[in-house]
């Protein structure tokens, strides 16, 4: 059906809004309406060649302007004498106007528009042009570019009510209906209305009791009170925040092929908070477009939220693929910023002017690149850009104590970092130059079980481990550091030299079959006092068997000497079966004093990996001491950090939110030829930032930065923003905007169905101080909004698209709201507001078709049932429900979602375990709230929970019938009973109820907002 409408609108765009039959208005006297009738024809059929664009202009003829043009003005385009071509438009004289001759011409070479343009005029259109010329060919400014003024409310109407403005909407709608002799639909039933307001304002369902309370409320305005309550609900900011996030092209990932995750949710929190606090839309705009520039002093506390707001334009994509050129994707991001600003605030298709002057709207290519210049100052450059550290919940406001704790925590973390760095530095320090003297060993033995066997002394003062010693033998040697003489000084270090020997496997120096050893610990005793080592070095250590492992007291780590390919590549001479050495620095030098010194070589790792032959040297050279870091200090610090962390949200984890920032010296901006960023048009000099010429009446209006742009956007000088946003809010509440082309308020866009109403609402909104809640209240409290959405036979012929608003529209729920509705019907919903994105169950295999697999850790607690807007959004592979139910991938701005109705949607709702789980929870809730009741009463309760209304007799009977058949099936096949809830016993009744709940969640009524 959506398709049908699109096809219809494309061919009859002129007539769809104004159901007036042109065929019958051949009367020349019938006054012609330039805005509604003439301009659309000129814009669609003529401006492409005879419009604003001076590059593409044909025959030097311009039809978009009245004054100083060659069409109806004094000068002629081709001259009446040259080739017999007359003036295109001679006001008052259609028969003398070349235009009239041309549009009726039978000669295909002369016919306008030319056949090749593929946009022929219809007879009624030709007639309109003729009448317009006959009546003087007067031009008017395009309605959306004219200054916004509050239209007078002086519309006579019977049954005046006290508050004349509250039903202003209804008056204009009624006037248009009266002209067509149509009547409004009756008010929707109270349950339908309550449900509609809940879905539209907070995106969840009311409980049956809440519906009942409103139905039974006999006070004057129960619906008004409900509206006020809903507008005050924290969920309002979520529902309407999501509406805004579409326009912000919010996503949790970078896009393109790698599509890595990004931190953007604090900005989402900001949007929710701003809408909940009803931040005036002008401020809302300025903070998002230029919040970073509001605070040049950089005072954090004053404007941190404003800087977070400036993330609006960091929602652009980042290409992380290898080999990308940052300049290209910086340019792409800037284009997106210009186009998004144009779509969101101006309702203009600026992107058309990126390569050439706009064919239809008065936007030149220079206008485009003047806007580009605002954003060309940006400091971010594809994958790099400024960020701001944010605590979870900070955007909503946290108590001061949190920040005190945080600053303590930061200090502790810094201290820990510096200690750890010190520790690392110690480990990596280069060995100092030392003088060595070999010691004469007095004893040398190795343990063999409880026994000790002697080692063999060799001539060079080294010792050799005999064959009999293997296993985990401990080698023990002893020497004496002589008494103090002139020459003896304190020992500062000891060196272990491991030596090859012919008696060892592969010549050693170890006893393992390949000649390796693992020295798990190296210990030194002076007398009976164990002396600590502060550091160790070796000429070579096997990867993962560093020499530091020999002095760390851990028997599971140790020093070994095998080599790997990388080491040999770095040093081709390196061999395992060669002499090696390790140096151990004493933490405290040993004074000379004749005490015996004992050295132990432990081999607790592997069997038979002993040092096979070795010698010892001592040094008395001073070793520059690096400050030692006691392990206990680090542990204590970590404990303290954990303690502070537990008092802070998310353990005090800081999230780096991307924000906007300008470079101090922005680069010059040039017009880019054909939009190619490698072809700046330097010949014509740089372009200064400014707004399009049409909005400054061609005057120079130099502007400085984004702040100037933002301030102009929300100034009364800009005729568009208030209209565009009012229309979009209307669209959200009626399914279609008063201006159907919600993203094109330019000359090719549709005309408003109710122009005064749009201008009145927009002015009223601005006058209210840009209060979104005020605007929404105005709309939803109108009779027009509160009508029934049921189709009416007579309307489906006259006004199938419901442009006249003789009824409300049925609107298929957005993906998020659909699941939220199921969550709230089942009672499982968790209403916590804000925070990082969550991960409800997702079918396996979603990333089979993407380049990189994303992490998706399914949530189990309350986060499993959070509102769907918090589901982490990966642009390259969105959560499947989103794609199936028409969420865009947010590569670019989305001002309106399409609403389709497909078999894949049916499969999702019917078979997705997410919905199956919620169907079961719905049964549990009904059971909780209505036990013990009959089957009919139970089903009735389930209907109330899902639909918020009583079922009809037929509905109840049919559901009951299905219940019986499902129950029968499960009684006969009890083994088929499956529950996703895990805890439930196999109960055929519960299983059958769950099938009924599944039906309820799949009905058209559930999927739509009536």
Partner 1 sequence: MDNMRIKSSIDRTAQCVMQHNRRAILSAAGVGLGAIALESMMAQDTPKPLGMLPDFHVPPRIKNVIYLFMAGGPSQLELFEDKPVLREFHGKLPPESLTNGRRFAFLPADAKLLGSNRKFERYGQCGMELSSLLPHHQKIVDKVCWLRGMKTDVFNHGPAKLFMNTGFQAPGRPSIGSWVTYGLGSQSESLPGFVVLQSGPRGPRAGNTLWSAGFLPSKFQGVPLRSQGSPILHLENPKGVSGSLQQGFIEATNDMNRLRYAEVSDPEIQTRIAAYETAFRMQTSAPELMRVDQETAETLELYGAEPGKSSFANNCLLARRLVERGVRFVQLYHTDWDHHGGKNADLDDALDKVCLEVDRASTALILDLERRGLLQETLVIWGGEFGRTPMGEPRETTGRDHHVDSFTMWIAGGGIQAGKIHGATDELGFGVTEGLVHVHDLHATLLHLLGIDHQRLTYRFQGRDFRLTDVHGRLVDEILT
Span interacting with partner 1, options 237-245, 304-312, 587-595, 1001-1009, rule CB under 8 A = 1001-1009
Q: Does 910 bind partner 1 (CB under 8 A)?
A: yes
CB distance 357 to 234 below 8 Å: no
Choose, by CB under 8 A, the member of 6, 300, 458, 656 that binds partner 1: 6
Q: To the nearest whole angstrom, how small is the minimum distance from the Cβ of residue 954 to partner 1?
A: 5
Binding track, positions 794-813, relative to partner 1; x by CB under 8 A:
--x-------------x-x-
Q: Does 900 bind partner 1 (CB under 8 A)?
A: yes
Cα-Cα end-to-end distance for the chain: 17
Return the exposure string of 227-253: e unless at least 16 CB atoms fall within 10 Å of the residue's CB, then b: beebbebebbbbbbbbbbbbbbbbbbb
Q: Does 332 bind partner 1 (CB under 8 A)?
A: yes
Closer to partner 1 by Cβ: residue 537 or 1006: 1006
Rg over alpha carbons for the chain, rounded to the nearest Å, is 40
Q: Which residues make Cβ contacts (< 8 Å) with residue 265, sequence separation at least 6? A: 252, 655, 834, 835, 836, 837
Q: Does 912 bind partner 1 (CB under 8 A)?
A: yes
Choose, by CB under 8 A, the member of 109, 216, 486, 793 that binds partner 1: 793
Choose, by CB under 8 A, the member of 323, 861, 932, 982 that binds partner 1: 323
Choose, by CB under 8 A, the member of 30, 229, 257, 423 that binds partner 1: 257
Q: Does 565 bind partner 1 (CB under 8 A)?
A: no
Q: Does 161 bind partner 1 (CB under 8 A)?
A: no
Span interacting with partner 1, options 79-87, 255-263, 423-431, 644-652, rule CB under 8 A = 255-263
Q: To the nearest whole angstrom, how small is the minimum distance from the Cβ of residue 878 to partner 1?
A: 7
Q: To the nearest whole angstrom, how small is the minimum distance from the Cβ of residue 986 to partner 1?
A: 10
Choose, by CB under 8 A, the member of 878, 879, 922, 924 that binds partner 1: 878
Residue 218 half-sphere exposure, CB side, CA atoms within 13 Å? Answer: 0
* CA–CA dist 488, 498 (Å, integer): 26
DSSP 677-694: TT-B-GGG--------GG
Span interacting with partner 1, options 384-392, 470-478, 688-696, 990-998, rule CB under 8 A = 990-998
Residues in 9-28 at the binding interface with partner 1, rule: CB under 8 A: 10
Q: Which residues make Cβ contacts (< 8 Å) with residue 976, sequence separation at least 6? A: 969, 970
Span interacting with partner 1, options 51-59, 319-327, 391-399, 445-453, rule CB under 8 A = 319-327
* Number of other residues whose CB lies within 10 A of the CB of residue 408: 16
Closer to partner 1 by Cβ: residue 576 or 977: 977
Q: To the nearest whole angstrom, how small is the minimum distance from the Cβ of residue 64 to partner 1?
A: 16
Choose, by CB under 8 A, the member of 907, 928, 931, 981 that binds partner 1: 907
Span interacting with partner 1, options 33-41, 289-297, 779-787, 887-895, rule CB under 8 A = 887-895
Closer to partner 1 by Cβ: residue 648 or 758: 758
Q: To the nearest whole angstrom, how small is the minimum distance from the Cβ of residue 364 to partner 1?
A: 16
Q: To the nearest whole angstrom, how small is the minimum distance from the Cβ of residue 43 to partner 1?
A: 11
Closer to partner 1 by Cβ: residue 56 or 505: 56
Q: Does 789 bind partner 1 (CB under 8 A)?
A: yes
Helices (H), 854-987: 880-884, 903-911, 913-930, 935-947, 953-972
Q: Does 849 bind partner 1 (CB under 8 A)?
A: yes
CB distance 350 to 338 below 8 Å: yes
Q: Does 746 bind partner 1 (CB under 8 A)?
A: yes
Q: Does 1005 bind partner 1 (CB under 8 A)?
A: yes
Q: Does 999 bind partner 1 (CB under 8 A)?
A: yes
Q: Does 609 bind partner 1 (CB under 8 A)?
A: no
Q: Does 1008 bind partner 1 (CB under 8 A)?
A: yes
Closer to partner 1 by Cβ: residue 540 or 998: 998
* CA–CA dist 120, 101 (Å, integer): 15
Kindly state the number of chain residues that form the binding site for partner 1, as judged by CB under 8 A.
104
**696 is written with which tokens?**
């400054």
**817 is written with which tokens?**
């709201």
- Long-range CB pairs of 463-467, under 8 A, 24+ apart, other chains included: 463/613, 463/614, 463/615, 464/501, 464/503, 464/612, 464/613, 465/511, 465/610, 465/611, 465/612, 465/613, 467/503
Closer to partner 1 by Cβ: residue 151 or 841: 841
Choose, by CB under 8 A, the member of 193, 441, 959, 988 that binds partner 1: 959
Choose, by CB under 8 A, the member of 259, 366, 405, 662 that binds partner 1: 259
* CA–CA dist 884, 881 (Å, integer): 5
Only one residue has tokens 């991938």, namely 889
Span interacting with partner 1, options 85-93, 509-517, 762-770, 969-977, rule CB under 8 A = 969-977
Span interacting with partner 1, options 232-240, 439-447, 816-824, 844-852, rule CB under 8 A = 844-852
Choose, by CB under 8 A, the member of 212, 408, 763, 891 that binds partner 1: 891
* Number of other residues whose CB lies within 10 A of the CB of residue 637: 16
Q: How far, rounded to the nearest angstrom, does the alpha carbon of residue 92 sit from its chain's CA centroid?
A: 57
Closer to partner 1 by Cβ: residue 178 or 794: 794
Q: Does 989 bind partner 1 (CB under 8 A)?
A: no
Closer to partner 1 by Cβ: residue 141 or 978: 978
* Number of other residues whose CB lies within 10 A of the CB of residue 615: 20
Q: To the nearest whole angstrom, how small is the minimum distance from the Cβ of residue 914 to partner 1?
A: 10
Q: Which residues make Cβ contacts (< 8 Å) with residue 873, sequence separation at least 6? A: 250, 251, 252, 253, 837, 879, 882, 890
Residues in 333-392 at the binding interface with partner 1, rule: CB under 8 A: 343, 348-349, 351-352, 360-361
Residues in 924-953 at the binding interface with partner 1, rule: CB under 8 A: 952
Q: Does 4 bind partner 1 (CB under 8 A)?
A: yes
Q: Phi first, then psi: what are they for 812, rounded to 5°?
A: -65, 135
Q: Does 682 bind partner 1 (CB under 8 A)?
A: no
Q: To the nearest whole angstrom, how small is the minimum distance from the Cβ of residue 321 to partner 1?
A: 5
Residues in 684-723 at the binding interface with partner 1, rule: CB under 8 A: none
Closer to partner 1 by Cβ: residue 221 or 973: 973
CB distance 319 to 256 below 8 Å: yes
Q: Does 587 bind partner 1 (CB under 8 A)?
A: no
* CA–CA dist 871, 47 (Å, integer): 45
Choose, by CB under 8 A, the member of 546, 705, 969, 989 that binds partner 1: 969
* CA–CA dist 527, 597 (Å, integer): 6
User: What is the maximum span of the chain, computed from C-alpha positions, in angstroms?
Assistant: 131
Q: How far, rounded to the nearest angstrom, does the alpha carbon of residue 69 sit from its chain's CA centroid?
A: 48
* CA–CA dist 370, 703 (Å, integer): 10
Taking alpha carbons only, the member of 829, 804, 806, 805 closest to residue 816 is: 829
Beta bridge partners of 519: 559
Helices (H), 735-771: 755-767
* CA–CA dist 309, 287 (Å, integer): 6
What does DSSP assign to residue 477?
E
Closer to partner 1 by Cβ: residue 257 or 381: 257
CB distance 567 to 545 below 8 Å: no
Q: Does 80 bind partner 1 (CB under 8 A)?
A: no
Q: Which residues make Cβ contacts (< 8 Å) with residue 672, sequence separation at least 6? A: 354, 369, 679, 680, 681
Only one residue has tokens 């199936």, namely 884
Q: Does 906 bind partner 1 (CB under 8 A)?
A: yes
* Number of other residues whose CB lies within 10 A of the CB of residue 808: 25
* CA–CA dist 719, 146 (Å, integer): 6
Q: To the nearest whole angstrom, how small is the minimum distance from the Cβ of residue 963 to partner 1?
A: 9
Q: Does 157 bind partner 1 (CB under 8 A)?
A: no
Q: How far, rounded to the nearest angstrom, does the alpha carbon of residue 415 sit from its chain's CA centroid?
A: 35
Choose, by CB under 8 A, the member of 727, 743, 753, 824 that binds partner 1: 743
* CA–CA dist 659, 291 (Å, integer): 9
């Amino acid at each position: 059906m959506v398709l049908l409408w699109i096809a219809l609108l494309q061919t009859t765009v002129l007539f769809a809004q104004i159901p007036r039959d042109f065929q019958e208005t051949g009367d020349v006297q019938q006054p012609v309406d330039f805005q509604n009738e003439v301009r659309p024809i000129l814009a669609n059929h003529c401006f492409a060649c005879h419009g604003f664009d001076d590059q593409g202009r044909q025959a030097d003829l311009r039809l978009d302007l009245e004054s100083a043009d060659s069409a109806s003005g004094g000068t002629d385009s081709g001259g009446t004498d040259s080739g017999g071509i007359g003036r295109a438009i001679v006001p008052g004289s259609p028969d003398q106007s070349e235009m009239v001759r041309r549009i009726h011409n039978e000669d295909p070479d002369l016919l306008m528009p030319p056949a090749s343009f593929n946009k022929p005029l219809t007879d009624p259109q030709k007639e309109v042009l003729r009448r317009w010329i006959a009546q003087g060919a007067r031009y008017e400014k395009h309605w959306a570019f004219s200054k916004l003024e509050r239209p007078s409310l002086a519309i006579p109407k019977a049954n005046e009510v006290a508050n004349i403005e509250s039903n202003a909407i209804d008056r204009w709608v009624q006037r248009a209906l009266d002209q067509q002799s149509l009547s409004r639909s009756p008010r929707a039933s109270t349950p339908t209305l309550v449900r509609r307001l809940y879905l539209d304002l907070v995106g969840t369902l009311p409980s049956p009791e809440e519906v009942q309370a409103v139905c039974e409320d006999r006070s004057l305005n129960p619906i008004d009170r409900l509206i006020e309550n809903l507008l005050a609900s924290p969920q309002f900011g979520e529902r309407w925040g999501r509406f805004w996030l579409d326009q912000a092209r919010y996503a949790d990932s970078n896009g393109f092929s790698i599509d890595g995750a990004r931190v953007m949710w604090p900005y989402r929190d900001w949007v929710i908070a701003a809408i909940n606090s009803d931040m005036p839309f002008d401020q809302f705009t300025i903070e998002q477009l230029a919040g970073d520039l509001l605070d040049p002093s950089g005072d954090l506390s004053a404007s941190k939220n404003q800087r977070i707001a400036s993330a609006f334009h960091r929602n652009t994509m980042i290409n992380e693929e290898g080999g990308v050129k940052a300049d290209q994707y910086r340019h792409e991001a800037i284009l997106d910023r210009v186009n998004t600003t144009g779509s969101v605030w101006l309702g203009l298709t600026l992107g058309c002017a990126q390569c050439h002057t706009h064919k239809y709207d008065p936007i030149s290519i220079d206008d485009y690149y003047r806007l580009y210049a605002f954003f060309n100052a940006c400091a971010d450059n594809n994958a790099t850009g400024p960020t701001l550290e944010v605590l979870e919940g900070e955007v909503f406001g946290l108590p001061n104590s949190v920040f005190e704790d945080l600053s303590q925590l930061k200090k502790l973390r810094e201290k820990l970092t510096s200690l750890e760095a010190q520790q690392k530095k110690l480990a990596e320090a280069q060995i100092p130059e030392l003088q060595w003297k070999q010691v004469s060993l007095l004893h040398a033995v190795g343990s063999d079980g409880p026994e000790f066997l002697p080692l063999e002394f060799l001539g060079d003062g080294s010792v050799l481990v005999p064959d009999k010693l293997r296993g985990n033998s401990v080698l023990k040697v002893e020497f004496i550091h002589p008494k103090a003489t002139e020459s003896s000084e304190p020992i500062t270090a000891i060196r272990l030299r491991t030596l090859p020997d012919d008696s060892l496997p592969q010549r050693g120096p170890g006893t393992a079959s390949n000649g390796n050893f693992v020295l798990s610990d190296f210990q030194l005793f002076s007398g009976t006092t164990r002396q600590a080592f502060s550091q160790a070095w070796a000429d070579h250590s096997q990867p993962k068997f560093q020499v530091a492992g020999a002095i760390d007291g851990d028997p599971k780590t140790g020093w070994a000497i095998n080599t790997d390919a990388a080491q040999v590549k770095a040093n081709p001479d390196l061999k395992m079966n060669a002499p090696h050495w390790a140096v151990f620095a004493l933490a405290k030098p040993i004074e000379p004093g004749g005490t015996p010194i004992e050295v132990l070589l432990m081999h607790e790792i592997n069997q038979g990996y002993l040092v096979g032959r070795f010698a010892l040297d001592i040094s008395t050279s001073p070793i520059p001491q690096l400050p030692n870091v006691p392990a206990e200090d680090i542990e204590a610090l970590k404990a303290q950090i954990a303690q502070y962390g537990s008092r802070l949200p998310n353990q005090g984890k800081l999230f780096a939110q991307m924000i906007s920032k300008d470079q101090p010296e922005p680069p010059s901006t040039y017009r880019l030829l054909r939009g190619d960023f490698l072809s700046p048009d330097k010949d014509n000099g740089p372009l200064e930032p400014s707004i399009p010429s049409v909005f400054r009446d061609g005057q120079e209006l130099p502007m400085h930065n984004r702040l100037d742009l933002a301030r102009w956007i929300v100034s009364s000088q800009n005729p568009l923003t208030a209209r565009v946003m009012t229309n979009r809010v209307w669209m959200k509440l009626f399914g279609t905007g008063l201006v159907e082309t919600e993203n094109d308020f330019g000359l090719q866009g549709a005309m408003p169905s109710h122009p005064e109403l749009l201008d009145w609402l927009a002015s009223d909104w601005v006058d209210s101080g840009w209060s979104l809640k005020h605007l929404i209240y105005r709309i939803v409290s109108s009779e027009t909004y509160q009508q029934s959405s049921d189709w009416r036979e007579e309307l489906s012929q006259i006004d199938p698209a419901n442009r006249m608003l003789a009824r409300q529209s049925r609107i298929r729920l957005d993906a998020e709201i659909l699941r939220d509705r199921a969550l709230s019907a089942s009672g499982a919903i968790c209403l916590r507001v804000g925070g990082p994105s969550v991960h409800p169950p997702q079918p396996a295999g979603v990333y089979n078709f993407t380049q990189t697999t994303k992490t998706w850790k399914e949530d189990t607690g309350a986060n499993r049932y959070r509102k769907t807007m918090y589901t982490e959004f990966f642009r390259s592979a969105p959560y499947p429900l989103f794609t199936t139910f028409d969420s865009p991938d947010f590569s670019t701005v989305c001002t309106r979602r399409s609403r389709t109705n497909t078999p894949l949607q049916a499969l999702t709702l019917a078979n997705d375990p997410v919905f199956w789980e919620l169907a079961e929870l719905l049964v549990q809730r009904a059971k909780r709230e209505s036990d013990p009741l009959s089957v009919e009463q139970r089903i009735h309760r389930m209907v109330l929970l899902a639909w918020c209304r009583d079922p009809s007799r037929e509905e109840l009977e049919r559901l009951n019938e299905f219940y019986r058949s499902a129950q029968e099936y499960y009684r006969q096949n009890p083994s088929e009973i499956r529950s996703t809830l895990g805890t439930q016993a196999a109960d055929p009744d519960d299983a059958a109820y769950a099938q009924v709940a599944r039906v309820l969640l799949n009905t058209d009524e559930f999927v739509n907002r009536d």
